[in-house]
Structures are given as C-alpha cells and as structure tokens.
A = this chain, B = another copy of it.
Amino acid sequence: MSSQDIPTAAISRLVTYLRILETLEQQDVSRTSSNDLAERAQVTAFQVRKDLAYFGRFGTRGMGYTVPLLKRELMRVLGLNRTWNVVIMGVGRLGQAIANYPGASDYQFGYVGLFDINPDLVGQNIRGLTVQHADDLRTFTHTTPVDLGFLAVPPEHAQNAAQTLVAAGIRGILNFAPTIIQPRTHPGTTDPTEEWQQVSVENVDFLAGMKRLAFYTLNPSLRPTEPTPSTTDLTHPLEE
C-alpha cells in the first residue's frame, strides 16, 4: 500500500467509526450495519464500506457487523491493540493536563518519561514520574524504548522541542502546542532530512471545538440539522 492508496481522511473516518462502535458497545448494542455507521458518522454507506475495504472484509454481506468484533478489528488496524511508550515534553500546565487526561490509558498509551527545561519543574514528581531535563532525553531513550513524544511546550519552543524528540530517535509526535511543526529540511531545499522523513506528526487543536461551538451558538439557524452529529476530529479539512 502506498500513501496514494489510503486517503488520510479514511484514517480519520476509521477513528470516527471506532468511537461510534465504542458508544454502541457502552449502550449494549451488539450489531450494526454500514447504513447505521454511515448515518452516525454523516457519510454514505458506500463510503463506510469503501473505507473498511482498505483493510479487509469485516462483515457478512446483508448481515452487517458484530460491534465488538469490528471494534477489535479497527483497534488492530489503528495499532491500538499494543502498548505505546510515550514521553511528554513540557510539563507545565498543559503537559500536566495531558498527563492527567483519563482515557489515554484505555488504549495502552503509557507515560514512561516527563521532560522539561524549566529548573522549577525538573526533579518534581508528577504521577509517579520524576521530571527530567530535556537534555537527558537522548540518554533516556538509550535505556527505555520510546514510541511517541507528546509536545506540550509553549508555541515558540515547539519546533526546537520537536527536534529534540527526533534527535532522540522518536518517530511519532503529537503536537499540542498551538503552532505547526515543520520537518527540518536540507539547507536551501524543502526536502526533509533523513531522520525527519521517518517522522509522523499530528497536530491537536484543543480549541477548535470551542470555536465552532461559539459560531453555532451565535448562529443557531446554521446548526447541522442531523440530531446526532458525529464526533471526531480530522487533521485535514477536506474539500466538498
């Protein structure tokens, strides 16, 4: 499979379908269909079937899907059936909020290290981990395997902090700072350096939902008419 084969939006929709399946499971609903998933996700049933077909055959024609089975399969596809060792870079107010966010542990995202450059924070104990200096990250990764780095530094430090994560061998970055992380490029080019070519970055905007809510609260007549709007975020805004 190449990146041409599976659109980014399909991955975001898989995340949506998974969340819908989790809600159905909470409601003790054991079966669903592409029509049902489509309605809840506000896409067409054809889209649901096409998205799932990238990864295999999950249902029985005319019979729909078994909720716990499809949920488990989507978790496997997304890589949520394994543990992820995570470090948090930046443990001020934002980083601590992330460390304390419930739910991440449901998916076996486990925090193995906390890092900062602020001498007031280095050495402090947060959720059983001692905050280490960012300069020690590289040494840390020699002894502890780290899969992902969550960036929670002020926006003006985000690019440098991302470089520190990448230099330590971390290949997945979840950026919570309100700025866009750029890959480091070869001088005078837009080609990412070899180490950055391996890096996946997802940028999280905690405030996007608040902003949309402000708009729709001021403009209730423009609200989506569907009674059960779907609930996910997409990294990439799509064209109509």
Contacts and interface: CB of A to CB of B under 8 A. Distances in A.
A2 B233 CA distance: 24
A228 B180 contact: yes
Given A47-B239, A174-B209, A239-B43, A3 B229 contact: no
A208 B234 CA distance: 8
Given A1-B222, A100-B93, A240 B205 contact: no
Interface in A160-179: 171-175, 178-179
A102 interface: yes
A43 B78 CA distance: 25
Contacts of A192: 227
Copies in the complex: 2
Interface size range of chain A in the complex: 35 or more
A172 B217 contact: yes
A18 to B, nearest CB: 7
A202 B237 CA distance: 17
A148 B217 contact: yes
B224 A236 contact: yes
Contacts of A13: 237
Interface stretch (A56-64, A103-111, A114-122, A130-138): A103-111
Contacts of A200: 213, 216-217, 220, 223
Interface stretch (A19-27, A28-36, A65-73): A19-27
